[in-house]
Amino acid sequence: MNPYLPDHEYIPDGEPHEFDGRVYLYGSHDKFKGSGYCLLDYVCYSAPVDDLTDWRYEGVIYRKTDDPENKDGAMCLYAPDVTKGSDGRYYLYYALDLMPYVSVAVCDTPAGKYEFYGYVHDKEGRRLGERPGDEMMFDPAVLTEGDRTYLYTGFCEAENKAKHGAMVTVIGKDMLTAIEEPRFVLPSRQYSSGTGYEGHEYYEAPSIRKYDGIYYLIYSSIKFHELCYATSSSPVEGFVYRGVIVSNTDIGIDSYKKAEVPAFYGANNHGGIIRLAEGDYIFYHRHTDGTNFSRQGCIEKINIEKDGGIRQVEMTSTGAEKDYFRGEGSYPAYMACNLFCEKEQTYTGDPGTFLGPDYPRITRDGIDDPDETGYISNMVSGTVCGYKYFDIDDLHSIRVWVRGFVDGDLSVRIGIKGSTLGKVHLGKMNFWTMYEISVESITEKAAALYFEYRGSGALQFEKFEMIKRG
């Protein structure tokens, strides 16, 4: 389900790569209740190529103090990427949060202990990003073909005329030395007129893949919440804007709501695609606890057409599940793919700010504690949380575990504005308390379930259990 890692884990900026019959997931590492982005060391998870629901923790692969410029640990490890070099070793490209250059670490295995290797530099040994006239080397993405590695970087605030867009630098066989200078491949907002990128210009978070002769450059646009993509037949030029793959607000999806209406509280986004034998997937992240700084990884199935086209997909709870959930058993409330209230709000707010007391959020009691479980907090009157998708054939009732000093009704329905299946009245509760909602007999194989609270106080929602008839 989504999020696909344990709910105490916060791995945003996910880059999936297939190595040696497994999918390895690399990303930055947030801390719940953290004061900023990417406060923790890099860890890695992996899964079988035929089951992206079976993730295994591989441990810490690189510590922020491993970089010789960061021995005191004062800087954070921002979004990384990994590629396999022509020598068979694995190279981790990353950037420290206060530095304009890219660092590299190396390991003999995909998820072993990476050792610092060096900095990306020009033929004279000068670090790229520090030379006069250089633009910041940020959010590295890498693709190796033969003895050449293509490194994509860039950070472009929408109103900054000094930032021109995403860059690609060609790195030689040593995985450090630029054999071709950086060139711009995606435009920033200031330089997008007439390019086809208008309204979806490059902001940050490049990710590169190649399938069937087509290069896919995924990136986060100036809208912040969406991952867009461009394609080309060359890794260094000719990228054409193609569209949005996923938004962590579901803006752009008009199948169950109006396209411009947000259905989750979003902020920045970063991720990559992967093609496996069983299908294509996009990795991205969502925001929790009402801030920018507690991000969790999510997956959605996508379909890459023969011409390279990818239609935007909606956020779901099922994620990498092959179909839909069985309409029985227990499910955690934190896997909600939609969460909103009557006061429409797209973003969690600027970094360092809090969504505020008028909005619900996904949170937890323990900080990075695997013995605690996440839940939805602050469900004020009119709050709706949605889950997709369930086989609810022959559903008898739904048990819910809730708490809070409330006086109101919790109802459940099919679809965001669909028919009500049932509701229950809730009273004041200090501890998690189970209520049972009897539902009308219904037969549906792929139902979206939405819970709505109406009443006084702010409800907390831990989990629900679906009971079949008979």
CATH number of the domain where residue 48 is located: 2.115.10.20
What are the φ/ψ torsions at residue 144 (nearest 5 degrees)?
-105, 130
Same domain, 186 and 329: no
Domain end (from 241, 271, 302): 302
Same domain, 280 and 335: no
Distance separating alpha carbons of residues 107 and 112, to the nearest angstrom:
6
Same domain, 84 and 134: yes
Q: Is 3 inside a domain boundary? A: no
Q: Is 6 inside a domain boundary? A: no
Length of the chain: 470
Q: Is 308 inside a domain boundary? A: no
Same domain, 292 and 331: no
Nearest to 228 by CA among 192, 261, 178: 192
Same domain, 200 and 122: yes
List residues with catalytic annotation: 13, 204
Same domain, 226 and 156: yes
Same domain, 294 and 369: no
Same domain, 379 and 257: no
Q: Is 310 inside a domain boundary? A: no
Q: Is 203 inside a domain boundary? A: yes
Same domain, 78 and 136: yes
Q: Is 316 inside a domain boundary? A: no
Same domain, 150 and 264: yes
Instruction: Kindly tell me the sign of the dihedral angle through the C-alpha atoms of 391, 393, 399, 404.
Output: positive
- Residue type for 72, please? D
Asked if 437 and 400 touch (Cβ cutoff 8 Å), the reply is yes
Q: Is 317 inside a domain boundary? A: no
Range of the domain at 283: 15-302
In angstroms, how far is CA 271 from the centroid of its own chain?
Answer: 6
Task: Return per-residue pLDDT of the chain as tens, 470 residues.
Answer: 999 999 999 999 999 999 999 999 999 999 999 999 999 999 999 999 999 999 999 999 999 999 999 999 999 999 999 999 999 999 999 999 989 999 999 999 999 999 999 999 999 999 999 999 999 999 999 999 999 999 999 999 999 999 999 999 999 999 999 999 999 999 999 999 999 999 999 999 999 999 999 999 999 999 999 999 999 999 999 999 999 999 999 999 999 999 999 999 999 999 999 999 989 999 999 999 999 999 999 999 999 999 999 999 999 999 998 888 988 999 999 999 999 999 999 999 888 888 989 999 999 997 767 778 899 999 999 999 999 999 988 899 999 999 999 999 999 999 998 889 999 999 999 999 999 999 987 777 789 999 999 999 999 999 999 999 87
Same domain, 257 and 369: no
Same domain, 73 and 41: yes
Domain count, the chain: 2
Q: Is 451 inside a domain boundary? A: yes
Domain end (from 271, 302, 333): 302
What is 132-201 written as a DSSP string? Answer: TTPPP--S-EEEEETTEEEEEE----TT-TT--EEEEEEE-TTSSBEEEEEEEEEE-GGG-TTSS-TTS-
